[in-house]
Structure 1
Amino acid sequence: YSRYIARWCARRGLTPNQVTTASLLTALIAAGSAATGTRGGYIAAGLLLLFSFVLDCTDGQLARYSLQYSTMGAWLDATFDRAKEYAYYAGLALGAARGGDDVWALALGAMVLQACRHVIDFSFNEANHDAVANSSPTAALSDRLDSVGWTVWLRRMIVLPIGERWAMIAVLTAVTTPRTVFYALLIGCAFAACYTTAGRLLRSLTRKAERTDRAARALAELADSGPIAQFVSVVGPRLGGSWSAPATALLAGVLMIASALSQPFGSWHTILAAVVYAMLSGMAVSRPLKGALDWLVPPAFRAAEYCTVLVLAARSDVQGALPAAFGLVSAVAYHHYDTVYRIRGGTGAPPQWLVRTIGGHEGRTLVVAVLAAVFTRHAAFTVALTAVAVAVALVVLVESIRFWVSSGAPAVHDEGETA
């Protein structure tokens, strides 16, 4: 129905940016309705979330219908979808808490999983940005499946893109509980992630094309390496030896998450694991990321950082730690999404001073591990996490807004979630 609404808006002189903003406000009201924790609130939240998605479809159609395109509109459209969905997760968690059910860990887990899915999409697409054609047998099989109509729709639905995902969330919110919504999200998105990642692994292993310098640079920028990793990346090659970038990144992430899970909360061993993680992450990016599977490096770093914050907050037994961790991951994820949209526009990653200021992925992971050790089982851990979240959000948002309203900002629209 969005095309009819687009015509209605055009006749009344509404702009695409106004419709985009209306979509955001509608989603925020939906999150507020879910936060009431009542059945009526959940039903209203589901209906409002669906209407927000209709408006989200309307703004692009209105822009094409009225020939109104702008850099600001591109930025708003690209970032608001993430803000709407993650704000809704927070609303569901608040509503559940009102009913005595603490689902903040599930809400943060759903956000982490969705953000990691997105970075896999972005990283794989950037690694193959300059490919003339995909000559792998997997791509040929995909082309043959596309010739059969019903398989196209099935494969589109399996990956739970934003439309199908929001429809599922809306319906389940109205008729079930927030815990059920998050279980469905985690199971559905995990299956979708396994399906898409497996296909991309097969494509990468069977295609013959070489990665270009541009692709390697984009992957390095997506890695979001801070001062520690950058220093190790310079010193590492001088020490000799050869290592696989994706294997090193995955090993670093597994060691970090395993330490956060296995060691007592606040253990200094977790800090040591964070230092090792920083060293290994620097080694992973010490050479140009031109390997067949090097696109796995940024997702490995995202999973390590986000999951470490989730695990430490969940194990802290401190009231408010998980909501604070949700805020921190939201701020960092915004920075990572902002990096992607800048790269897509051809302007490159955010300035190095910004990456150094917020520490890079390895620096932030180390800071959270230190905070857990210093404020063991103390309410100050929540305050510290909140302070870090606010600081990161302020620095990132101010620089992002300055860039996207400047004359040099690219006109980049969100390409959506592809299979």
Structure 2
Amino acid sequence: MSTAIVTGQPVPGSSLEGDLRALGFDVRLAPDAADAEAALAAVPGDQRVAVVDAGFVGHAHALRLGLTDPRFPASAIPGAVTAQPSARQALNRAVGETGIAPDTVAKSIEAAGTDVHRPELGELVAAVPHDPQARNEARQRVAAVDDEAIRLRTAVKARDGFFTTYCISPYSRYIARWCARRGLTPNQVTTASLLTALIAAGCAATGTRPGFVAAGLLLLFSFVLDCTDGQLARYSLQYSTLGAWLDATFDRAKEYAYYAGLALGAANSTGDDVWALALGAMVLQTCRHVVDFSFNEANHDASGNTSPTAALSDKLDSVGWTVWVRRMIVLPIGERWALIAIFTALTTPRITFYVLLVGCALAACYTTAGRVLRSLTRKAQRTPRAAQALDDLADAGLLRNATVRKLRGRGYAAPLTALFGALILVSDAATSDFGSWTVVAGAGAYVILSDVAVSGPLTGPLDWLVPPIFRAAEYGTILLLAAKADVQGALPAAFGLVAAVAYHHYDTVYRIRGGTGAPPRWLVQAIGGHETRTLVVTVLAALLTATDFTVALTALAVLVALVVLAESIRFWVSAGAPAVHDEGEPA
């Protein structure tokens, strides 16, 4: 239970107490400073407490934004300030030093070094009028603005794709409100979305035309629920650590499970083996995301972070139609899932994967080329934090520091070295027969060159390309070796291994975004790191028969999945996990 201490003399006709109780606060009246300090001292230290001026006039949603958002230790709006347990000491000190006026208390908390979040209210009213005329004017402003309409509108993300903005959000926001009024949580909606997608994958796996049609429809409904869970979180400010984990990982789990369902459906329908296409789609999509993550982490806190290319992009954004075209070109999740659903219902899994691969490849070329141009034309100074984030995303493991050769300076040495090693590895895997030790030699060269690439700080203009190069090399090698094995079950086993490793890489990204840093070093070493896993897979391919290699891939996939999931679940349900709601890629 949260407690709101209303300070000052009550104002006749005020709805403040009712609004606070509706928001879940236990309201305590404190007409003078002594009463307020006593009430504050009586609130247990593990509870949120708010100090609100009795003369407050404003919308209930303004109070909700200012006093109930769980992501911020302290926050304030005009006439009200709140602190969660982690900021209670700062609040108590401020009240003791400055008195009980909420605005003064908020300034004192900030002056003492505690960040105070101040939400953007827009048209919402939050004020403390000091005379009857000003109070009447404030009440008129409150009556003139429908805060429920604003609450619904702001439940939708500001930047979404064309399909989501015009085909999903116009009604999904009302589903979110319906869920909120019935006490449903975002996590429950997220779970429903996952279950719906898994049922869709099961329908696709039947290999029948009715099954494919049902799969397409269910995938679209899963996406509606996927939009609804975030809108529900924003509508009701229900952000949580568990929700952050579920939201961050279930989108990928749904999409990749659906790929597997399509591959099974193709086999059950006509005997068509499209597992290589399914795995290729997963590899391409994961590498696209790593490009996004690496670029953003490298540049979000860089100084001098401007370029002619970025300026041109901003100028294009001022032309309405170009915004939508550019958002559609990158094939965000809404457009991508709509494309998958339509082609699943109307064509075959093979055609669906062909279209998906072509669309994602074009989107990857467009976004990567634009980011390379921005990086080459900007004069940004990257921070040590950004360099550490890129190093964590690189996922170097047991064989790190295997070479004494160190790169010095910035320039382009790191990505070129990583690319050279990746090309040696992938070309050997693509041109050699299954079981050839040439691929092992290529993996050895990759281990050395990848180690050289990350031997210095990743602060160069294109160093953000190093993690996606490593992902493409590792995933691509597993795909090629499984395809070369040419036995039943090899590609599905490779699909499972790449899925388990990709989960680890996504988990790393969301921990970094939450401000808690990468997974513990022991985890990276326990699952080998990208270079060790790649070397192990090539050695297994050289030592074992194709059938035994399939068994080994399956065992490795299970081992990696168990270790990674156990540590991930432990972290995301712990008190140290970030209470954030990451918006992920635009929908």
Runs of 5+ unmatched residues, structure 2:
1-170
In 2: Cα distance, 1:239 partner to 1:330 partner: 35
What per-residue deviation string (whole Å, max 9, x for no partner) do you get for residues 69-118 of structure 1?
A: 11101110111000000000000000001121100000000000000000
Match of 1:72 in 2: 242
Matched, 1:323 2:492: yes
| 1:238 positional shift | 9.6
Greater percentage in helix: 1
| 1:318 positional shift | 1.4
Match of 1:261 in 2: 430
Return the letter of the residue paired with 1:388: L
Q: Is the 8 A contact 2:333 2:586 kept in 1?
A: no
SS at match of 2:305: coil
| 1:129 positional shift | 1.7
Match of 1:271 in 2: 440
Greater percentage in strand: 2
Which residue of the other structure, out of 118, 124, 128, is the alignment partner of 2:299?
128
Q: Is the 8 A contact 1:268 1:373 kept in 2?
A: yes
| 1:184 positional shift | 0.6
| 1:132 positional shift | 4.9
1:168/1:202 CA distance change after superposition, 3 Å: same
Match of 1:95 in 2: 265
Match of 1:386 in 2: 554
Return the letter of the residue paired with 2:250: F
Return the letter of the residue paired with 2:370: G
Which residues in structure 2 correspond to 1:74-223 (within 5 Å)? 74-99=244-269, 100-132=271-303, 134-223=305-394
Matched, 1:42 2:227: no
Matched, 1:291 2:460: yes
Return the letter of the residue paired with 1:354: L
Return the letter of the residue paired with 2:221: F
Match of 1:370 in 2: 539
Runs of 5+ unmatched residues, structure 1:
none
In 2: Cα distance, 1:300 partner to 1:397 partner: 24
Q: Is the 8 A contact 1:341 1:412 kept in 2?
A: no
What per-residue deviation string (whole Å, max 9, x for no partner) do you get for residues 122-144 of structure 1?
A: 00000002035632110110011
Return the letter of the residue paired with 1:230: N
In 1: Cα distance, 2:584 partner to 2:363 partner: 15
TM-score (norm 1): 0.97
Match of 1:51 in 2: 221
| 1:417 positional shift | 2.6
In 2: Cα distance, 1:342 partner to 1:390 partner: 23
What per-residue deviation string (whole Å, max 9, x for no partner) do you get for residues 205-239 of structure 1?
A: 0001111101100000000001212343xx22399
| 1:418 positional shift | 5.5
In 2: Cα distance, 1:166 partner to 1:352 partner: 35
For these two proteins, the number of residue pairs brought into alignment is 415
Match of 1:22 in 2: 192
Match of 2:575 in 1: 407
SS at match of 1:174: helix
% identity of equivalent residues: 78
Return the letter of the residue paired with 1:19: V
| 1:272 positional shift | 1.1
In 2: Cα distance, 1:23 partner to 1:243 partner: 43
| 1:11 positional shift | 1.9
1:154/1:133 CA distance change after superposition, 3 Å: farther
Match of 1:309 in 2: 478
In 2: Cα distance, 1:409 partner to 1:268 partner: 44
Matched, 1:356 2:525: yes
| 1:53 positional shift | 0.5
Q: Is the 8 A contact 1:246 1:296 kept in 2?
A: yes
In 2: Cα distance, 1:53 partner to 1:243 partner: 40
Return the letter of the residue paired with 2:570: R
| 1:415 positional shift | 3.0
Segment drifting more, 405-414 vs 20-29? 405-414
In 2: Cα distance, 1:416 partner to 1:409 partner: 17
RMSD: 1.6
Match of 2:414 in 1: 245
Return the letter of the residue paired with 1:18: Q
| 1:8 positional shift | 1.4
In 1: Cα distance, 2:372 partner to 2:437 partner: 36
Segment drifting more, 160-169 vs 5-14? 5-14
In 2: Cα distance, 1:227 partner to 1:264 partner: 28
In 2: Cα distance, 1:352 partner to 1:41 partner: 44
In 2: Cα distance, 1:389 partner to 1:193 partner: 27
Q: Which has the higher contact order (CA 8 A, sep 6+)?
A: 1
Return the letter of the residue paired with 1:200: R
SS at match of 2:519: coil
In 2: Cα distance, 1:238 partner to 1:157 partner: 39
Larger Rg: 2
In 1: Cα distance, 2:250 partner to 2:268 partner: 27
In 2: Cα distance, 1:204 partner to 1:243 partner: 11
Return the letter of the residue paired with 1:350: P
Q: Is the 8 A contact 2:306 2:378 kept in 1?
A: yes
In 2: Cα distance, 1:118 partner to 1:306 partner: 14
Q: Is the 8 A contact 1:75 1:412 kept in 2?
A: no
Q: Is the 8 A contact 2:287 2:472 kept in 1?
A: yes
SS at match of 1:228: coil
Q: Is the 8 A contact 2:239 2:580 kept in 1?
A: no
1:43/1:133 CA distance change after superposition, 3 Å: farther
What per-residue deviation string (whole Å, max 9, x for no partner) do you get for residues 22-48 of structure 1?
A: 000000000000000000000000000
1:238/1:210 CA distance change after superposition, 3 Å: closer
